[in-house]
Amino acid sequence: MIIKKYIVNDMKEAIIRAKYELGKDAVIISQRTVKVGKWYNLRKKKQLEVTVAVEENIVTKNNNINSIQNEYKETDMGQSIETDFIYEKASDIIKNKLVSYCDLYEIEDNKLTIEEKKNFLNLVLKNNCFEKKLELERINVFMGPTGVGKTTTIAKIAAKEHLVNKRNVGLVTMDTYRIGAVEQLKTYANILDAPFEVVNSPDEMAYKINKLKDCDMILIDTLGTSQRNKGKLIDIKDYLDAIEGEFNKYLVLSVSTDKDTIYSILDRYKLLNYDGLILTKFDEVTVLTNFWSIIENNTLPVQYFCFGQDVPDDIKDATLENLLDYIEENFTYA
């Protein structure tokens, strides 16, 4: 007998994963609630630990599924897959695996439902970057080029944490270069009745953070800078090196940026040792080139995706399910 445990958000996810990995004869034998996250985090996320079993001789479908997950075999792709608005910018590896998936489950590729598309991606892209998540630390830093929406993203997260999770949030900016940057974040702080601090030099960082010692969470806006400006990246690093204790660093990327520039940003910003990504401006693109570039090539967690200017509404957790639902409901093409 094969026994496997899954850590999942809900029973539906467990059933889907068990079905596609172990086959339709898999049986759920136990479930319990567990807390997932770092040991010192008092707000660890609750998830389900589901134990599933299947007889060892029931392996045919499982072997076929493993071949879809692990092997690349060139097949004749139907026109519907080549032009599907979700898959048209995927690599040929993904498209060919989709053909094999449709053959295995006897599905016509032009009749895939959104749920079947989700199931396929969860099958072939296990542990993909959209399913990985960081635990929000008490201190969280946001970095990225000018114009990607860092400040608005911070406002969305601050509003969500304050209004939904009832946290006392403090806001900090070190972006004193860009005209209006301080005033923009200060306006959001005033709306949320949140404490706000401006850091003018690395020497001030520890002092200004200490002024927010009563806050449950601190969100820090950095100077927006081109990935080609190594001097400013080093300046930001000096500020970050002055932060005491553990903190998360998020690189904010606009999916409307061209693919080569995104690769350049991901590479040059490694100087700042970012921990995860936030994707913005999904409402400004009509093709999913960067979605596929990131999901197929990036291993770091993608925490959120943003799709408009409304605070706090236009932001969601960047799970595959949320992304595909958004794409299905909102993408239109010329």
pLDDT value at position 106?
80
Asked if residues 218 and 169 have their Cβ atoms less than 8 Å apart, the reply is: yes
Q: Is residue 245 situated within a structural domain?
A: yes
Confidence of residue 334 (pLDDT cuts 50, 70, 90): very low
Please tell me whether residues 78 and 53 are part of one structural domain: no
Query: CA dist 298 to 120, 219, 287, 294, 302, Å?
Result: 19, 24, 19, 5, 9
- 267 and 184 inside one domain: yes
**Residue 202 within any structural domain of the chain:** yes
Over residues 219-243, the pLDDT tens digits come to 999 989 999 999 999 999 999 999 9
Q: What pLDDT, on the 0 to 100 scale, is given for residue 37? A: 67
Is 155 a domain residue?
yes
Q: Which domain holds residue 296?
A: 139-330
Based on the number of CB atoms within 10 Å of its own CB, is 218 exposed (0-12), middle (13-18) or buried (19 or more)? buried
The mean of the pLDDT values for the chain is 86
pTM greater than 0.85: no
pLDDT at 39: 53
Query: Within this chain, do residues 100 and 202 fall inside the same structural domain, yes or no?
Result: no
Window from 52-66, 196-210, 277-291 with minimum mean pLDDT? 52-66
What pLDDT does 328 receive?
87
Q: What is the pLDDT of residues 240-270, one digit of tens each?
A: 999 998 999 999 999 999 999 999 999 999 9
- Find the range with the poorest average confidence among 59-63, 97-101, 156-160, 282-286: 59-63
| Shared domain check, 108 and 189 | no
- Residue 64 placed within a domain: no
Q: Assign residue 165 a region (left: φ > 0; alpha: ψ between -120 and 50; beta: otherwise).
A: alpha
Asked if the model's pLDDT at residue 62 lies above 60, the reply is no
- Which stretch of DSSP H or E encloses residue 94? helix 92-104
- What tokens appear for 200 in the block? 């003018």
* 3-state secondary structure string across 11-52: HHHHHHHHHHHHCCCCEEEEEEEEEECCCCCCCCEEEEEEEE
252 and 287 assigned to the same domain: yes
- Total domains in the fold of the chain: 3
> Does 267 lie in the same domain as 156?
yes
Whether residue 1 has pLDDT greater than 70: yes
For residues 160 and 301, membership in a common domain is answered with yes
Question: Do 318 and 184 reside in the same domain of the chain?
Answer: yes
Q: What's the Cα-to-Cα distance from 29 to each of 55, 59, 65, 174, rounded to whole Å? A: 13, 19, 22, 53
Q: Is residue 224 part of a domain?
A: yes
Say if residue 24 is in the same domain as residue 114.
no
Neighbours of 208 (CB within 10 A): 19
In this prediction, residues 197-213 reach a mean pLDDT of 95
pLDDT at 272 over 90: yes
pLDDT score, position 105:
76
The winner for highest mean pLDDT among 3-12, 46-55, 187-196 is: 187-196
- Per-residue pLDDT reduced to its tens digit, 40-54: 555 667 888 999 888
Over the stretch 100-128, which tens digit does the pLDDT of each residue have?
A: 888 877 887 777 888 888 888 888 887 78
Question: Rounded distance, CA 147 to CA 16, Å?
Answer: 39
Q: Are residues 163 and 309 in the same domain?
A: yes
CATH number of the domain enclosing 159: 3.40.50.300
Is residue 50 situated within a structural domain? yes
Instruction: Give the model's pLDDT for residue 143.
Output: 96
Read off the DSSP letter of residue 227.
T
Q: If you average pLDDT over residues 298-306, what whole number do you get?
A: 93
DSSP 143-169: E--TTS-HHHHHHHHHHHHHHTS---E
317 and 182 within one domain:
yes
Confidence label for 36 from pLDDT (cuts 50, 70 and 90): confident
Q: What is the DSSP letter of 102?
A: H
| pLDDT tens for each residue of 127-175 | 789 888 888 889 999 999 999 999 999 999 999 999 999 999 999 999 7
Give the per-residue pLDDT at 279: 97
- Has residue 133 been placed in a domain? no
Do the domain assignments include residue 287?
A: yes
